[in-house]
Amino acid sequence: MDKSIVLLGSTLREVLVAINEVPAGIAFVVNTQKQLVGVITDGDFRRLLLRGFDLEHSLKENLLSKDYIFSKQGDNLESLLHKVNRRVRIIPIVNEKLEPVDYFQYEHRTHFTPVAAPNLSGKEFEYLTDAFLSTWISSRGKYIDRFEKDFSTYCGTRHGVATSNGTTALQLALAALGVGPGDEVILPNLTFAATINVVLHAGATPVLVDVEEEFWTIDPKEIAKAITSKTKAIIPVHLYGQPCDMEAIMDLANKHNIYVVEDCAEAHGAEFSEKKVGSFGHVSCFSFFANKIITTGEGGMCLTSDAEIDMRLRILRDHGMSRSQKYYHEHVGFNFRMTNLQAAIGCAQLERIDQILKDREGLERFYKENLRDREIKWQNISDKRRKKVVWLVSCLIKDRDSVISKLATSMVETRPFFIPLSKMEIYRKFRFSDQNSIKISNSGINFPSNSIDESNMILEKILERLEKTI
Ligand SMILES: *Cc1c(COP(=O)(O)O)cnc(C)c1O
């Protein structure tokens, strides 16, 4: 530090020696009272040479830029970060007597901010260790029973059947309801591919209908148009935390005698008419993948209030084996079981679900408030029956791809929305309607959804890019 301090009136040669002393390429200029009066960078020096000054010229105050930025000793990292920008990356720090004592250098971020990360700060490790030490590490044990009971109670259903992941939960649900070849299953065009893959694996025919423009969830009017005598089930997906119109969907299902399998993978805790999602369908399926609202690492669950369906789910989950006679198989089943280790993590997650949802909601509110006057569309929340939760902070931006690359240069991960299924070669022939799905998909973006610490920095980058597009 000392070597990079030069006195006003020194020759430019002496200034150059000082600049050369520190890797940052900067000299701090002081007056005879040792007080900081300015800085001179290697770039400034280059410009002086180009203007014709020679190395024997003495450094006068008028050669320094007037509005240099400095900071006081004791200022925290946050205030320092607020002062750096694209041009100013080094900030001198002065003491009470205005003498330079240190400097802060803003390094390019090397820290990666993911779009989603699990929060495991509760009793997750304690329960996991307990399950491990009990040696019940496979698919029997107290945490399995507890997780099934607690999660089904939380959602307001009588039974819960834990599975190895959310996709197997969907697959198990369709198998338990007897969905197979010759059956049609209606699902939204805008969803994660697991929702359609399980229909195809069951040998049934998917029917991809459009979503509502404002709510982004499956459009009941399109379902009504798509129902045929072959329709066996509807899979409404509560997309990005938004509940589907379950009133209209259950009305249609009851009228036509069709099963409803709710895909709740992105909406743990969301409500419709003051009832939790997952309590409407004949079976409801959740995912506990690491990026979902609560996690077990990999994991899923089927919920139902029908005792007979519950029994079928359990038998099919466990190789279709008879409950009364060991190794006698009544059905062609699966092994879709969850382990006690996964369930242990799930129990700890569930204890904190209210706080986890509140934190995510707070983060979305932060973005919403700070981006209020911008050309951004959020999920419509005007339907008072629907109480959404925040899975990934999600919105529609006109110049979406430019925002994604802007954030990427700062190591901030974002995601574009799902691609409408009917836009992919392998699913194209199952298209019923897709107009809104395409529109939403083209401009939809997910921001990092559980890192409140970095939200200011992320917001700043978003604003930088949005200003240019308006
Ligand atoms: C994540 C997800 C699934 C699949 O869950 P996995 O646990 O990853 O198998 C299914 N449907 C939707 C809508 C999802 O977002």
> In this predicted model, what pLDDT tens digit does every residue of 102-150 receive, in sequence order?
888 776 556 778 889 999 999 999 999 999 999 999 999 999 999 999 9
| Beta carbon of 263 within 6 Å of any ligand 1 atom | yes
Going from the Cα of 124 to the center of ligand 1, the distance in angstroms, rounded, reads 22
Q: How confident is the model at residue 226 (pLDDT cuts 50, 70, 90)?
A: very high
pTM (global) more than 0.75 = yes
Burial class (CB in 10 A: 0-12, 13-18, 19+), 229: exposed
| Beta carbon of 287 within 6 Å of any ligand 1 atom | yes
What pLDDT score was predicted for residue 468?
Answer: 52
Give the pairing type, strands 90-94 and 26-30.
unpaired
pLDDT digits (tens, 9 = 90+) for 335-376: 999 999 999 999 999 999 999 999 999 999 999 999 988 889
What pLDDT score was predicted for residue 79?
Answer: 67
Average pLDDT, whole number, for the chain? 92
| pLDDT higher than threshold 70 for residue 236 | yes
Q: Which of 195, 197, 218 for mutating ligand 1's site (highest number of atoms within 8 Å of CB)?
A: 195
What pLDDT score was predicted for residue 17?
Answer: 94
Q: How confident is the model at residue 453 (pLDDT cuts 50, 70, 90)?
A: confident
- What CA–CA distance (Å, rounded) separates 106 from 85? 9
What pLDDT score was predicted for residue 248?
Answer: 98
User: Relative to the CA of 239, which ligand 1 atom is closest?
Assistant: 13
**Between 454 and 203, residue with greater pLDDT:** 203
| Beta carbon of 446 within 6 Å of any ligand 1 atom | no
* Residues 6+ positions from 241 with CB-CB distance below 8 Å: 266, 267, 270, 293, 379, 388, 389, 390, 391, 394
| pLDDT, mean of residues 294-313 | 98
| pLDDT higher than threshold 80 for residue 467 | no
What pLDDT score was predicted for residue 345?
Answer: 98
| Beta carbon of 342 within 6 Å of any ligand 1 atom | no
What pLDDT score was predicted for residue 461?
Answer: 82
Going from the Cα of 432 to the center of ligand 1, the distance in angstroms, rounded, reads 22
